[in-house]
Protein backbone atom coordinates (compact mmCIF):
# COMPACT_ATOMS: atom_id res chain seq x y z
CA UNK A 1 0.00 0.00 0.00
CA UNK A 2 2.69 2.38 1.17
CA UNK A 3 4.77 1.65 -1.96
CA UNK A 4 1.86 2.31 -4.30
CA UNK A 5 1.13 5.71 -2.76
CA UNK A 6 4.71 6.88 -2.91
CA UNK A 7 5.42 5.63 -6.42
CA UNK A 8 3.90 8.65 -8.22
CA UNK A 9 5.72 10.99 -5.84
CA UNK A 10 8.98 9.24 -6.61
CA UNK A 11 8.32 9.48 -10.31
CA UNK A 12 7.56 13.20 -10.09
CA UNK A 13 10.65 13.77 -7.95
CA UNK A 14 12.81 11.86 -10.44
CA UNK A 15 11.34 13.86 -13.32
CA UNK A 16 11.98 17.13 -11.48
CA UNK A 17 15.54 16.09 -10.68
CA UNK A 18 16.14 15.13 -14.31
CA UNK A 19 14.70 18.43 -15.51
CA UNK A 20 17.08 20.26 -13.16
CA UNK A 21 20.17 18.56 -14.61
CA UNK A 22 21.71 20.98 -17.09
CA UNK A 23 22.00 19.69 -20.65
CA UNK A 24 25.24 18.19 -21.89
CA UNK A 25 27.49 19.27 -24.74
CA UNK A 26 29.32 16.43 -26.50
CA UNK A 27 32.34 17.90 -28.30
CA UNK A 28 33.06 16.22 -31.62
CA UNK A 29 29.85 14.18 -31.80
CA UNK A 30 27.32 14.68 -34.61
CA UNK A 31 25.05 17.43 -33.22
CA UNK A 32 21.44 17.21 -34.31
CA UNK A 33 18.90 20.02 -34.61
CA UNK A 34 15.19 19.87 -33.68
CA UNK A 35 14.49 18.14 -37.01
CA UNK A 36 16.96 15.36 -36.27
CA UNK A 37 19.32 16.69 -38.94
CA UNK A 38 23.00 17.35 -38.40
CA UNK A 39 23.69 20.99 -37.57
CA UNK A 40 25.27 22.82 -40.52
CA UNK A 41 26.87 25.94 -39.10
CA UNK A 42 30.55 25.61 -39.91
CA UNK A 43 33.00 28.46 -39.41
CA UNK A 44 30.19 29.97 -37.42
CA UNK A 45 29.38 32.87 -35.19
CA UNK A 46 26.78 33.47 -32.49
CA UNK A 47 24.78 36.48 -31.35
CA UNK A 48 22.48 36.70 -28.36
CA UNK A 49 19.15 38.54 -28.48
CA UNK A 50 17.23 38.53 -25.20
CA UNK A 51 17.47 34.99 -23.85
CA UNK A 52 18.11 33.41 -27.21
CA UNK A 53 21.34 32.65 -28.98
CA UNK A 54 21.43 32.54 -32.79
CA UNK A 55 24.13 30.47 -34.45
CA UNK A 56 25.01 31.20 -38.08
CA UNK A 57 27.42 29.19 -40.17
CA UNK A 58 28.26 27.63 -43.49
CA UNK A 59 25.58 25.15 -44.52
CA UNK A 60 27.40 22.41 -46.42
CA UNK A 61 24.51 19.92 -46.53
CA UNK A 62 24.96 17.26 -49.20
CA UNK A 63 22.96 17.66 -52.37
CA UNK A 64 22.54 21.44 -52.30
CA UNK A 65 22.76 23.35 -55.60
CA UNK A 66 26.51 23.36 -56.36
CA UNK A 67 26.20 26.80 -57.96
CA UNK A 68 25.07 28.36 -54.68
CA UNK A 69 26.58 28.88 -51.25
CA UNK A 70 24.42 28.56 -48.15
CA UNK A 71 24.29 29.98 -44.64
CA UNK A 72 22.06 28.39 -41.99
CA UNK A 73 20.69 29.89 -38.78
CA UNK A 74 19.74 28.00 -35.61
CA UNK A 75 18.42 29.25 -32.28
CA UNK A 76 18.74 28.00 -28.72
CA UNK A 77 18.00 29.13 -25.19
CA UNK A 78 20.46 26.70 -23.59
CA UNK A 79 23.26 26.48 -26.20
CA UNK A 80 22.69 22.72 -26.40
CA UNK A 81 19.29 22.21 -28.06
CA UNK A 82 19.22 23.97 -31.43
CA UNK A 83 16.19 24.77 -33.56
CA UNK A 84 16.71 25.20 -37.27
CA UNK A 85 15.35 28.64 -38.23
CA UNK A 86 16.16 29.23 -41.86
CA UNK A 87 18.65 28.88 -44.64
CA UNK A 88 19.25 32.60 -44.46
CA UNK A 89 21.55 32.83 -47.51
CA UNK A 90 21.26 30.89 -50.75
CA UNK A 91 23.78 32.85 -52.71
CA UNK A 92 24.69 32.42 -56.36
CA UNK A 93 27.90 34.00 -57.65
CA UNK A 94 27.30 37.67 -56.84
CA UNK A 95 29.47 38.88 -59.72
CA UNK A 96 32.17 37.35 -61.80
CA UNK A 97 33.69 35.07 -59.15
CA UNK A 98 32.91 31.87 -61.03
CA UNK A 99 31.03 28.70 -60.19
CA UNK A 100 33.51 27.66 -57.52
CA UNK A 101 33.33 30.92 -55.59
CA UNK A 102 33.80 30.90 -51.83
CA UNK A 103 31.45 32.12 -49.09
CA UNK A 104 32.89 31.25 -45.69
CA UNK A 105 32.68 32.09 -41.99
CA UNK A 106 29.47 34.16 -41.92
CA UNK A 107 29.01 36.39 -38.86
CA UNK A 108 25.89 38.38 -38.01
CA UNK A 109 25.76 41.64 -36.04
CA UNK A 110 22.59 43.38 -34.89
CA UNK A 111 22.61 47.13 -35.34
CA UNK A 112 20.25 48.66 -32.75
CA UNK A 113 20.27 52.07 -34.48
CA UNK A 114 19.24 50.90 -37.96
CA UNK A 115 17.43 47.82 -36.60
CA UNK A 116 19.11 45.80 -39.32
CA UNK A 117 20.91 42.50 -39.04
CA UNK A 118 24.19 42.77 -40.92
CA UNK A 119 26.04 39.67 -42.05
CA UNK A 120 29.73 39.70 -42.88
CA UNK A 121 31.27 36.79 -44.75
CA UNK A 122 34.49 35.90 -46.48
CA UNK A 123 33.86 36.20 -50.22
CA UNK A 124 36.40 34.88 -52.68
CA UNK A 125 37.06 33.25 -56.00
CA UNK A 126 38.13 29.62 -56.20
CA UNK A 127 41.82 30.54 -55.79
CA UNK A 128 41.17 32.65 -52.68
CA UNK A 129 42.81 35.51 -54.61
CA UNK A 130 40.07 38.12 -54.29
CA UNK A 131 40.32 38.26 -50.48
CA UNK A 132 37.22 40.32 -49.71
CA UNK A 133 34.40 40.54 -47.21
CA UNK A 134 30.79 40.39 -48.35
CA UNK A 135 27.97 42.17 -46.58
CA UNK A 136 24.30 41.14 -46.55
CA UNK A 137 21.38 42.47 -44.53
CA UNK A 138 18.02 41.38 -43.20
CA UNK A 139 15.25 43.05 -41.20
CA UNK A 140 14.87 39.99 -39.00
CA UNK A 141 17.47 37.77 -37.42
CA UNK A 142 16.45 34.65 -39.31
CA UNK A 143 15.03 36.26 -42.46
CA UNK A 144 16.44 35.97 -45.95
CA UNK A 145 19.62 38.03 -46.05
CA UNK A 146 20.14 40.16 -49.14
CA UNK A 147 23.63 40.49 -50.53
CA UNK A 148 24.74 44.12 -50.71
CA UNK A 149 28.37 44.22 -51.87
CA UNK A 150 31.90 42.97 -51.31
CA UNK A 151 35.03 44.95 -50.56
CA UNK A 152 38.45 44.79 -48.98
CA UNK A 153 38.12 46.16 -45.43
CA UNK A 154 40.31 49.24 -44.97
CA UNK A 155 41.62 48.43 -48.45
CA UNK A 156 43.43 45.34 -47.13
CA UNK A 157 43.23 41.69 -48.15
CA UNK A 158 40.80 39.80 -45.94
CA UNK A 159 40.35 36.04 -45.81
CA UNK A 160 39.12 34.34 -42.60
CA UNK A 161 36.92 36.66 -40.57
CA UNK A 162 35.78 36.62 -36.96
CA UNK A 163 33.42 38.77 -34.92
CA UNK A 164 33.79 40.41 -31.57
CA UNK A 165 31.19 42.43 -29.68
CA UNK A 166 32.65 44.15 -26.65
CA UNK A 167 30.82 44.51 -23.33
CA UNK A 168 29.85 48.07 -24.32
CA UNK A 169 28.19 46.71 -27.48
CA UNK A 170 30.84 47.99 -29.93
CA UNK A 171 31.15 45.67 -32.91
CA UNK A 172 34.47 44.61 -34.41
CA UNK A 173 35.48 42.53 -37.40
CA UNK A 174 38.56 40.39 -37.13
CA UNK A 175 40.20 39.65 -40.47
CA UNK A 176 43.33 37.89 -41.65
CA UNK A 177 45.66 40.01 -43.80
CA UNK A 178 48.14 37.78 -45.64
CA UNK A 179 50.48 40.50 -47.07
CA UNK A 180 50.78 42.05 -43.59
CA UNK A 181 51.49 38.62 -42.02
CA UNK A 182 48.88 39.28 -39.40
CA UNK A 183 45.27 39.93 -38.52
CA UNK A 184 43.25 43.05 -37.83
CA UNK A 185 40.75 43.85 -35.15
CA UNK A 186 38.73 46.64 -36.74
CA UNK A 187 35.72 48.65 -35.61
CA UNK A 188 32.62 48.72 -37.80
CA UNK A 189 30.96 51.98 -38.84
CA UNK A 190 27.88 53.22 -36.95
CA UNK A 191 25.56 51.42 -39.38
CA UNK A 192 27.85 48.34 -39.51
CA UNK A 193 27.88 48.51 -43.31
CA UNK A 194 31.60 49.21 -43.51
CA UNK A 195 34.81 48.81 -41.57
CA UNK A 196 35.92 52.09 -40.08
CA UNK A 197 38.96 51.90 -37.88
CA UNK A 198 41.81 49.54 -37.22
CA UNK A 199 42.22 48.95 -33.50
CA UNK A 200 45.18 46.61 -33.97
CA UNK A 201 47.08 44.87 -36.70
CA UNK A 202 48.56 41.96 -34.81
CA UNK A 203 51.59 40.84 -36.75
CA UNK A 204 51.22 37.11 -36.28
CA UNK A 205 50.06 35.03 -39.26
CA UNK A 206 46.86 33.61 -37.82
CA UNK A 207 43.39 32.91 -39.21
CA UNK A 208 40.14 31.73 -37.61
CA UNK A 209 40.52 34.80 -35.40
CA UNK A 210 38.51 35.20 -32.20
CA UNK A 211 38.56 37.69 -29.34
CA UNK A 212 37.02 37.69 -25.86
CA UNK A 213 37.04 40.37 -23.15
CA UNK A 214 37.37 38.69 -19.78
CA UNK A 215 38.06 40.32 -16.41
CA UNK A 216 39.76 43.40 -17.81
CA UNK A 217 41.87 41.68 -20.45
CA UNK A 218 41.37 41.01 -24.13
CA UNK A 219 42.35 37.55 -25.33
CA UNK A 220 42.93 37.13 -29.08
CA UNK A 221 43.11 33.65 -30.52
CA UNK A 222 43.79 32.15 -33.92
CA UNK A 223 45.10 29.22 -35.89
CA UNK A 224 48.09 28.89 -38.20
CA UNK A 225 47.47 28.90 -41.95
CA UNK A 226 47.30 25.18 -42.73
CA UNK A 227 44.18 24.93 -44.90
CA UNK A 228 41.70 22.43 -43.50
CA UNK A 229 44.33 20.72 -41.34
CA UNK A 230 44.37 21.35 -37.62
CA UNK A 231 47.36 23.02 -35.99
CA UNK A 232 48.28 24.33 -32.53
CA UNK A 233 46.13 27.45 -32.04
CA UNK A 234 47.70 30.39 -30.24
CA UNK A 235 46.55 33.28 -28.06
CA UNK A 236 47.83 36.64 -26.85
CA UNK A 237 46.46 39.21 -24.42
CA UNK A 238 46.24 42.98 -24.11
CA UNK A 239 44.67 45.47 -21.74
CA UNK A 240 43.30 47.41 -24.69
CA UNK A 241 42.22 46.33 -28.18
CA UNK A 242 44.87 48.74 -29.42
CA UNK A 243 47.53 46.70 -27.67
CA UNK A 244 50.32 46.28 -26.88
CA UNK A 245 49.72 42.56 -27.29
CA UNK A 246 51.67 39.95 -25.38
CA UNK A 247 53.71 37.20 -27.01
CA UNK A 248 51.59 34.36 -28.43
CA UNK A 249 51.28 31.14 -26.42
CA UNK A 250 49.75 27.73 -27.09
CA UNK A 251 46.19 27.16 -25.94
CA UNK A 252 46.87 23.41 -25.56
CA UNK A 253 49.92 21.14 -25.86
CA UNK A 254 51.13 21.67 -29.46
CA UNK A 255 51.18 17.92 -30.16
CA UNK A 256 47.37 17.66 -29.88
CA UNK A 257 46.81 20.24 -32.67
CA UNK A 258 43.94 21.91 -30.81
CA UNK A 259 42.40 18.44 -30.51
CA UNK A 260 41.86 18.34 -34.26
CA UNK A 261 39.93 21.61 -34.41
CA UNK A 262 40.30 25.19 -35.61
CA UNK A 263 39.10 28.27 -33.75
CA UNK A 264 36.06 30.17 -34.94
CA UNK A 265 34.85 32.06 -31.86
CA UNK A 266 35.23 32.56 -28.12
CA UNK A 267 31.72 32.67 -26.66
CA UNK A 268 31.23 34.41 -23.32
CA UNK A 269 28.35 33.08 -21.23
CA UNK A 270 27.59 35.47 -18.39
CA UNK A 271 25.67 33.58 -15.72
CA UNK A 272 24.30 34.60 -12.32
CA UNK A 273 27.21 32.82 -10.58
CA UNK A 274 30.10 32.69 -13.01
CA UNK A 275 31.17 33.82 -16.46
CA UNK A 276 32.27 30.98 -18.70
CA UNK A 277 34.19 31.31 -21.95
CA UNK A 278 33.61 28.57 -24.50
CA UNK A 279 36.13 27.82 -27.22
CA UNK A 280 34.16 27.15 -30.41
CA UNK A 281 36.15 25.23 -32.98
CA UNK A 282 35.50 23.38 -36.22
CA UNK A 283 36.69 19.84 -36.72
CA UNK A 284 36.90 20.03 -40.50
CA UNK A 285 36.39 17.03 -42.71
CA UNK A 286 37.53 18.37 -46.09
CA UNK A 287 36.26 15.40 -48.11
CA UNK A 288 32.92 15.17 -46.29
CA UNK A 289 32.46 18.81 -45.36
CA UNK A 290 28.81 18.34 -44.35
CA UNK A 291 29.95 15.99 -41.59
CA UNK A 292 32.50 18.44 -40.15
CA UNK A 293 32.00 18.55 -36.38
CA UNK A 294 32.12 21.12 -33.60
CA UNK A 295 34.49 21.18 -30.70
CA UNK A 296 33.14 23.38 -27.95
CA UNK A 297 34.86 23.35 -24.60
CA UNK A 298 34.89 25.76 -21.64
CA UNK A 299 38.39 27.18 -21.37
CA UNK A 300 40.40 27.80 -18.24
CA UNK A 301 40.94 31.53 -18.42
CA UNK A 302 42.20 34.33 -16.19
CA UNK A 303 45.20 36.46 -15.28
CA UNK A 304 46.46 36.41 -18.84
CA UNK A 305 46.29 32.64 -19.26
CA UNK A 306 43.98 30.69 -21.52
CA UNK A 307 43.98 26.92 -21.68
CA UNK A 308 41.84 24.58 -23.75
CA UNK A 309 41.37 21.36 -21.75
CA UNK A 310 41.06 17.96 -23.36
CA UNK A 311 37.57 17.75 -24.89
CA UNK A 312 35.08 15.80 -22.79
CA UNK A 313 31.31 16.01 -22.45
CA UNK A 314 30.29 18.82 -20.13
CA UNK A 315 27.07 20.13 -18.69
CA UNK A 316 26.24 23.76 -19.32
CA UNK A 317 23.85 25.80 -17.20
CA UNK A 318 23.39 29.09 -19.01
CA UNK A 319 21.46 30.57 -16.05
CA UNK A 320 24.31 30.23 -13.58
CA UNK A 321 27.07 30.10 -16.22
CA UNK A 322 28.39 26.93 -14.59
CA UNK A 323 29.86 24.05 -16.53
CA UNK A 324 30.78 20.62 -15.20
CA UNK A 325 33.14 18.40 -17.17
CA UNK A 326 31.84 14.85 -16.94
CA UNK A 327 34.08 11.92 -16.14
CA UNK A 328 35.09 9.60 -18.96
CA UNK A 329 32.60 6.83 -19.64
CA UNK A 330 33.93 3.53 -18.28
CA UNK A 331 35.68 1.48 -20.95
CA UNK A 332 33.68 -1.41 -22.40
CA UNK A 333 34.64 -4.73 -20.76
CA UNK A 334 37.12 -6.74 -22.83
CA UNK A 335 35.54 -9.72 -24.62
Q: Which residues bind ligand DGJ (CB under 6 A)?
A: 43, 104-105, 160, 207-208, 227-228, 262
CB 52 → ligand DGJ: shortest distance, Å? 26
The span from the CA of 250 to the CA of 109, in Å, is: 29
88 vs 230, beta carbon nearer ligand DGJ: 230
Q: Quick check: 276 and 269 in contact, CB under 8 A?
A: yes
Query: How many residues does this entry show for the chain?
Result: 335
The span from the CA of 296 to the CA of 313, in Å, is: 9
The span from the CA of 26 to the CA of 37, in Å, is: 16
27 vs 43, beta carbon nearer ligand DGJ: 43
59 vs 207, beta carbon nearer ligand DGJ: 207
Task: Determine which helix (DSSP H) or strand (DSSP E) holds 297, and give its type and residue range.
Answer: strand 293-298
CB 177 → ligand DGJ: shortest distance, Å? 14
Pairing of β 217-223 and β 234-238: antiparallel
What share of residues in the chain are helix, strand, coil (percent, to 5)? Answer: 10, 50, 40
CB 43 → ligand DGJ: shortest distance, Å? 5
25 vs 206, beta carbon nearer ligand DGJ: 206
C-alpha neighbours within 13 Å on the C-beta side of residue 252: 23
224 vs 322, beta carbon nearer ligand DGJ: 224
127 vs 215, beta carbon nearer ligand DGJ: 127
Contacts of 153 by beta carbon, 8 Å cutoff, 6+ apart: 133, 173, 175, 184, 186, 194, 195
Task: Determine which helix (DSSP H) or strand (DSSP E) holds 23, and give its type and residue range.
Answer: none
CB 196 → ligand DGJ: shortest distance, Å? 24
CB 182 → ligand DGJ: shortest distance, Å? 15
CB 8 → ligand DGJ: shortest distance, Å? 54
Q: Looking at beta carbons, which residue is closest to ligand DGJ?
A: 227
CB 134 → ligand DGJ: shortest distance, Å? 14
The span from the CA of 227 to the CA of 263, in Å, is: 13
Amino acid sequence: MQMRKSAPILLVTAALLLAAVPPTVHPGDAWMDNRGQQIEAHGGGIIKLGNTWYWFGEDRTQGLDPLKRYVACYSSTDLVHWTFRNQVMKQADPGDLGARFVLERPKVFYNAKTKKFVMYMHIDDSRYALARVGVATSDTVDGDYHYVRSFRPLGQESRDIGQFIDDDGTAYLIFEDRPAHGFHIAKLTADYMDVEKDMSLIRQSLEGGAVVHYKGLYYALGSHLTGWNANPNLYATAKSLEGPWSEFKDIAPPAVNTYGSQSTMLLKVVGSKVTTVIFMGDIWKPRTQWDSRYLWMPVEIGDGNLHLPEPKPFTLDVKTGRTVVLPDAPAAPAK
